[in-house]
Structure 1
Amino acid sequence: MSGVRQADPAFAGRVLWLVALAAAALLLGPLSRAWALAPDLGHGWAAPMLIAYLWWERWPQRPGLRAARAVGAGSWVALGVCLMVALALRLLLTPYPLWPVAVIVYTALLIGLALVAAAQVAGAAGVRWLGGPLLVLIAVLPWPGAVERALILPVREAIASLVAEISNLAGHPALAAGTSVRLAGGWVGIDEACGGIRSLQAAVMTALFFGEWLRLPWRRRVVLIAAGGMAAVVGNFGRVLFLSWRAESGDLARWHDGAGWVALGFSLVVTGLVGWRCRSRAGRKAEAGKPGAATMKAQPPAPVVSKSVPTGILIWMVTAVVVLGGIEAGTRAWYARGKARWRTTVPQWTVRFPEANPTLRHVPLGESAREMLRPDVFASASWRERDQAERSANYIVWRTGQVARSAPFLHNPTICLPYSGCELEEELGVINVSWAHGEIPFHTYIFRRMDDTLLVAFALWDPGRGGPLQSRGGGWMGWWRDQWRDVREARQDQPAQLFSYAIAGRGGRDRLAKDLSALIRPVE
């Protein structure tokens, strides 16, 4: 880099140390958990490697130390405020790792502290050197729901409509329903993990990387990001069109994953080629401006290089890193303690089907239903008792993550049975079923489908609190109370159990509670 002096060994070691600690704070915090839980962010694990490569590639051009400068009281006050905000966000992001606004603010806060430290050590040149590669993180953060509703969802719906039109023109009847396409061979969705937003965000990450690696001007970087987004849309359109064609042959599952990876690879390759093309044009433009010395831009003067980092700056940096590390360690210890407490102090129960019954048939969970429910435990079976009435039961357990905050309320008999053609005939109220450590409330209903009736009972249970699972509500204040209640109780995950039981006909009402009690067993 012209106009910048070489750094001394002491500065090089300290900057490397700062970068390593900042990267560790980001990766060991909520970003890594978000990448692990969200299929759309699976490409996020590539971001640390790309950032590390960019830092390594530009290590010879690192800036020198600037003149010594004292750390004022304002810097310490700002640091204190930032650390308090970081503590609150870190506590909230453990039970809510995919909360987009909180993830973005927390990440921006940590990056901001690192850039302030770089500015204190090496001035504006240090900020540019450290912050440029961190732009890659923009594409590996969860995007707010408003962005998806305004940008992603309309694109998906347009792809589905266009694919349906092409299929109809080709003589294959198809109907677009939201972001999916209905064909004779089945549904072709656009929301699966290997397509859609993952391709788009991965292409944006690739564009940001090439823009920084090739040192492109900002206008060309914007063009590159737009080209990457278009490549992702085109690749995903080709994927859905191909799967719609294969669906007519009945082997959709065979090609599903492969088509997704091809679409992803297409968007990344196209983005890289466009980036290299932008670099070539920028290089030719720079060469065209060289003949006249008067047309060349004046080079900025070299910064003043100090011999060592002032003690006050070092203390400020060490304080920030130590406190952030303490926040990370304390948060993990707090929630680990909470998990151990509820598992050892709250009585647990499970369900045991009548395995000795010769009519018992276990029912596996379909792949599409598994992707929708994402359970940790699933068991389903049907059997007949002496009265020859058919029984069926489903038992679902969520132990980790946040799926249970919504899935049990969206996928229980009152929701799923009407979608399958059943009509709610009568609500029978709540019955309390006894077990070894108390009672479990079951909601009971009568459903009808044509001439058949079905007696249905189900319970939603929170094994973390040892009581019925409650839905979130109460407006913004109620929502905030629920968030902080989980923090106070150190609930990193939302565990839940859903047990549904059905008897064909109406004759089982009198013995329903006894039947349910016989299936529930305490966990020793």
Structure 2
Amino acid sequence: MTSAALPAPPAARVRLPAGILVMLAALGASVIAYSLHLWPEWSRNPDLSHGFFAPLIFLLLLWESRKQGPWRWLPARPWALGLLTLTVTAGLALVGLAGLFAATLAWNHAVVLFLLAAALSALLGAGLLVLADERVRLLPLNWISVTALLLWPMVAPIPDGTYARLTFSLQSWVTGAVMDALQILGIPARQHGNIIELARTTVGVEEACSGVRSLISCIYAGFFFAAWQVRRPARRLLLIIAAPALALGMNLLRSLTLTLLANHGTDISGTWHDATGFAILGVTAAILAGLAVLLESRDPPETPPADRPITLPLGALRVFWTGAALVLGLGGFFYLNSRSITTIQVPESVPFARLLPAEAAGWQVVTPDDLYRFSDILRTDYLSERTYLRTTESGGNTQLTVYVAYWPAGQTSVSQVASHTPDACWPGAGWSSITAGSDRRQVITQPGMQLSPAEYRLFKTDRGSTQHVWFWHLFDGRVIDYRDPYSLSALLQIALKYGFSRQGSQYFVRISSNRPWSELADEPLLREILTNLDQVGL
């Protein structure tokens, strides 16, 4: 008599200790909080539209890490505890630095959001080191799990300085490449900065056409596909390198297509511009996904290790929770001390509408009617600009342009205002600065008046036109020292000097002319303007 073999009982599911569950809940709450904080940026910034998928991709990669392996665990050694301590310390330092910048730049500034993303990656990395402990064995320390953590900074805005330099470089490269293609095709065209002058029209390579959007999205997708689909290191590296090259090539194709359409008389604004942009993004993503499938490894997956009881790594948990408590306390301190006032009021005494004369004897006065298209970028509706023109007896022309912008107390940060100087904005329109370093600050004179020293730049175009430019940045009624808004060290100086006192009103004043100051100083018009500006602290 024989008996049938009974099936083996299922393995008991490993129960997670309360200490691990609480840590997972804290890390999950951090991811949710940061995603909600970044959601408005994802909504308004087309460069970061891929961020909406970031939480889902994060969870997908963690799942794949547990499912696919390789299963690498950290031994319970002193060096592993030291690595955890270093990771937690890095997260704490990044949160502190983000809070310090937020005191001046605001919590939604690109630098702050990027630092918070880096801090989140560091804290998640600390959690990974605990979960990959050989006594826990809950999440392996492999390429997939590390990629899941490092993708967070790629859904945060790039700091303004890096973004501006990258965008300007890409604009110049795209413009030059399109010009080379037009010459090969025999189409006459001239280049002025990032502007291409065709026979029938003019095409400008703006920031949106620089390729930054597709470059960021493709790099993000390249790392994601390399972790999700590809297993061999060499193939992963190939896919990651191919992603930015593909993005740049496809954007160049789009820019050339739009330029050719414009040359044939097609209106490329609106539908054509947006449709080609979305089409290029879709095609690029499809090509990248197809390449990932071709590079996908066919090796059979490794056998996952059997579940075993979890032993709490008490030393590692103490380090993690100590760091988490310090991060929470430091972040709360900076948040409570760096919030803007909730109600913005404009003092009635501000003579903004009367700063620039609407009429001047002997001068033709030109007031632009499209100045307020920059309101969203500058974050203010208080903008004024007038150009005064006059023909001299010798037949020459004198041009004087004065621009003033005003921000009520608490409306924006010092760095935000400082990021829109001629140094940052004029090169994109074809102007290049030829000012020597020793001449970048100039003491200007006006009889009977004591004016604060001005930042001075001399710009020229490839057509030979020149502009002398003087500008001042005023905070709380006084001129402040100029700092390069694209330098992190300069931003740190701004934060240390103006942090926790963001309630002062701000003015930005720019005077530009085709004549040097020595030929303008005695003009009654200029004296009237400077007398008016003296009321706001100039």
- Common fold: TM-score over 0.5: yes
2:229 counterpart residue number? 214
Per-residue CA deviations over 1:216-240 (Å, capped at 9, x if unaligned) read 3333322222332232122101111
Structure 1 contact 70–310 (Cα < 8 Å) conserved: no
Task: Please identify, of 141-150 and 485-494, the stretch whose mean Cα deviation from structure 2 is larger.
Answer: 141-150
Cα distance change on mapping 1:310 and 1:215 into 2, 3 Å: same
Counterpart mapping for 1:116-515 below 5 A = 116-120=129-133, 122-123=136-137, 125-128=139-142, 130-137=145-152, 139-140=154-155, 159-175=174-190, 181-184=196-199, 185-189=201-205, 192-193=207-208, 195-214=210-229, 216-248=231-263, 249=265, 251-254=267-270, 255-279=272-296, 282-283=297-298, 286=300, 299=303, 301-302=305-306, 304-306=308-310, 309=312, 313-336=316-339, 339-340=340-341, 349=350, 351-353=352-354, 362-365=367-370, 370=374, 374=378, 376-377=380-381, 378-381=383-386, 393-397=402-406, 399-400=411-412, 402-410=415-423, 429-431=444-446, 441=452, 460-463=472-475, 465-472=476-483, 479=490, 482-483=493-494, 485-486=496-497, 488-489=499-500, 496-498=507-509, 500=511, 509-510=523-524, 512-514=526-528
**Pairwise CA distance, 1:267:** 1.5
Structure 2 contact 84–316 (Cα < 8 Å) conserved: no
Per-residue CA deviations over 1:257-279 (Å, capped at 9, x if unaligned) read 33323222222221122223333
Per-residue CA deviations over 1:55-80 (Å, capped at 9, x if unaligned) read 4677889999x999799996896577
**Pairwise CA distance, 1:151:** 9.3
Amino acid at match of 1:396: A
**Pairwise CA distance, 1:352:** 0.6
2:395 counterpart residue number? none
Amino acid at match of 1:460: W
Task: Please identify, of 255-264 and 323-332, the stretch whose mean Cα deviation from structure 2 is larger.
Answer: 255-264
Q: Name the SS of the counterpart of 2:509 in structure 1.
A: strand
Q: Whole-Å Cα distance in 2 between the matches of residues 314 and 78 of structure 1?
A: 14
Per-residue CA deviations over 1:192-214 (Å, capped at 9, x if unaligned) read 23541221120121122223333
Cα distance change on mapping 1:49 and 1:522 into 2, 3 Å: farther
Cα distance change on mapping 1:240 and 1:45 into 2, 3 Å: same
Q: Identify the structure with the greater strand proportion.
A: 1
1:47 counterpart residue number? 54
Task: Please identify, of 144-153 and 165-174, the stretch whose mean Cα deviation from structure 2 is larger.
Answer: 144-153
**Pairwise CA distance, 1:110:** 2.8
* TM-score using structure 1 length: 0.67
* TM-score using structure 2 length: 0.65
Amino acid at match of 2:474: D
User: What is the Cα-based RMSD across aligned positions, in Å?
Assistant: 5.9
Where structure 2 has 5 or more consecutive residues not aligned to the other structure, the ranges are 1-10, 390-397, 434-441, 459-466
Per-residue CA deviations over 1:298-330 (Å, capped at 9, x if unaligned) read x47536422x64665555443333322222222
Structure 2 contact 230–236 (Cα < 8 Å) conserved: no
Per-residue CA deviations over 1:336-365 (Å, capped at 9, x if unaligned) read 2xx449989999845114899899875233
Cα distance change on mapping 1:519 and 1:383 into 2, 3 Å: farther
Q: Whole-Å Cα distance in 1 between the matches of residues 101 and 121 of structure 2?
A: 14
Q: Name the SS of the counterpart of 1:173 in structure 2.
A: coil
Structure 1 contact 25–324 (Cα < 8 Å) conserved: no
1:450 counterpart residue number? none
Cα distance change on mapping 1:172 and 1:403 into 2, 3 Å: farther
Q: Pick from 124, 127, 133: which aligns with 1:114?
A: 127
Identical amino acids, percent of aligned pairs: 18
**Pairwise CA distance, 1:456:** 9.8
Q: Whole-Å Cα distance in 1 between the matches of residues 254 and 423 of structure 2?
A: 29
Q: Whole-Å Cα distance in 2 between the matches of residues 432 and 57 of structure 1?
A: 74
Q: Whole-Å Cα distance in 1 between the matches of residues 328 and 255 of structure 2?
A: 45
Task: Please identify, of 144-153 and 402-411, the stretch whose mean Cα deviation from structure 2 is larger.
Answer: 144-153
Per-residue CA deviations over 1:382-436 (Å, capped at 9, x if unaligned) read 699xxxx9996532246536343243353799x999989xxxxxx99344999xx
2:438 counterpart residue number? none
Q: Name the SS of the counterpart of 1:193 in structure 2.
A: helix
Task: Please identify, of 233-242 and 498-507, the stretch whose mean Cα deviation from structure 2 is larger.
Answer: 498-507
Q: Whole-Å Cα distance in 1 between the matches of residues 314 and 77 of structure 2?
A: 9
**Pairwise CA distance, 1:17:** 0.9
Q: Whole-Å Cα distance in 2 between the matches of residues 409 and 178 of structure 1?
A: 15
**Pairwise CA distance, 1:20:** 0.8
Q: Name the SS of the counterpart of 2:208 in structure 1.
A: coil
Cα distance change on mapping 1:431 and 1:234 into 2, 3 Å: same
Where structure 1 has 5 or more consecutive residues not aligned to the other structure, the ranges are 287-295, 421-426, 448-454
Cα distance change on mapping 1:493 and 1:315 into 2, 3 Å: farther
2:464 counterpart residue number? none
Per-residue CA deviations over 1:429-449 (Å, capped at 9, x if unaligned) read 344999xxxx9759699x9xx
Structure 1 contact 194–261 (Cα < 8 Å) conserved: no
1:424 counterpart residue number? none
**Pairwise CA distance, 1:5:** 8.6
Q: Whole-Å Cα distance in 1 between the matches of residues 430 and 448 of structure 2?
A: 23
Q: Whole-Å Cα distance in 2 between the matches of residues 493 and 227 of structure 1?
A: 48
Q: Pick from 15, 25, 29: which aligns with 1:17?
A: 25
